[in-house]
Structure 1
């Protein structure tokens, strides 16, 4: 196995997915749920993210070419999805999101586009192009799995924090998460606009 490539994949995706930055958003989204439901949401989000990353690692370029989708278009779509969620967190008490069910929280925004967003997808596709044999393929797989394990651990051990925060603390975290998420969304949209202009 190509250890250097595995480390490079792990570090790159770790920076892009930002497990620490995901924790407050996760806490705000699962604040109205039971511990079991929150754990299920964490597993589902990681599973969705892993599935999307693996799918694009194997068939990403073919999928985009077939549908006629450019990477800037994916960035814009991801940014709009995150912006909608951010506005709900900022303008409400988070109840509208929390009431949507485990699968919805896991799919959007946790699994995608927050974790398996355009940045992670593009990075994975670029690493896949460097695969020259079984060792390289194994290295990319190990890097991807390692990052998702770290993300799951970050969300899993954020649950004790949720119990300590209580209602007022959760509301504060929700508002802060909304601000951070809106900034991420605007940055994704700005990046897509710059890419469209350069194209």
Structure 2
């Protein structure tokens, strides 16, 4: 197997896994579905997963088109996306709720909604700004090597499956891992996301420098 393809695949999977944070969804789902029975919870989780998959697919297909129509170069989006992901990483490291996923007002509104599969589970907890930015970034990087699109698709599918599994098993995760374990894992993933975010920014700056002949 091509080492570049393998590295790209691992990078895409780790980034999506960190941004979506399947295990971190467990306590949120427990809180939001406390008044539902297990059958209803499972139906909500399945619906949220399919809706978020549709949203991610939409931006994977039209994301680069939107950037081109807005005359936004991919290196600029690399820098902007890297900054957004870095902000999310900082929130994860300090155990703060990320505004890129859900604001306090949105969280309060969600507690009063009957159908939470679309909001806030699918949007913004799973397919939020960070996930959308990551999708456009990796699809843009893979456009010059179509085989890498398979890696991006596989990374998204695997992460969404893990998210579905974690949300479906949320009560077991809370029971055996506990909130402390989830926070520890979230901080570890936050460190990885911070490093990946910085790499996106550096890649964008490097591409900008080459395009404008600052580096030959």
- Residue ranges of structure 1 left out of the alignment (5+ in a row): 131-135
1:41-80 equivalences under 5 Å are 41-56=48-63, 58-59=64-65, 61-63=67-69, 65-66=71-72, 69-80=76-87
Give 1:133's aligned residue.
Answer: none
- Checking the alignment, whether the CA contact within 8 Å between 1:17 and 1:116 is kept in structure 2 is no
2:140 to 125, 140, 148: 125
1:1-199 equivalences under 5 Å are 13-18=12-17, 22-32=21-31, 33=33, 34-56=41-63, 58-59=64-65, 61-63=67-69, 65-66=71-72, 69-81=76-88, 83=90, 86-88=95-97, 97=107, 100=110, 101-102=116-117, 103-118=119-134, 120-130=135-145, 143-166=151-174, 169-176=177-184, 178-180=186-188, 182-183=190-191, 186-187=194-195, 190-191=198-199
Aligned pair in 2 of structure 1 residues 129, 185: CA closer, same or farther (>3 Å)? closer
- Checking the alignment, whether the CA contact within 8 Å between 1:81 and 1:109 is kept in structure 2 is no
- Checking the alignment, whether the CA contact within 8 Å between 1:78 and 1:185 is kept in structure 2 is yes
* Bigger helix share: 1
Q: With structure 1 as the length reference, what TM-score do the two structures score?
A: 0.61
- Checking the alignment, whether the CA contact within 8 Å between 2:90 and 2:194 is kept in structure 1 is yes
RMSD over aligned CA atoms reads 4.4
Q: Distance in 2 between matches of 1:197 and 1:129?
A: 19
Aligned pair in 2 of structure 1 residues 63, 188: CA closer, same or farther (>3 Å)? farther
- Residue ranges of structure 2 left out of the alignment (5+ in a row): 34-40, 99-103, 111-115, 210-216
Q: With structure 2 as the length reference, what TM-score do the two structures score?
A: 0.58
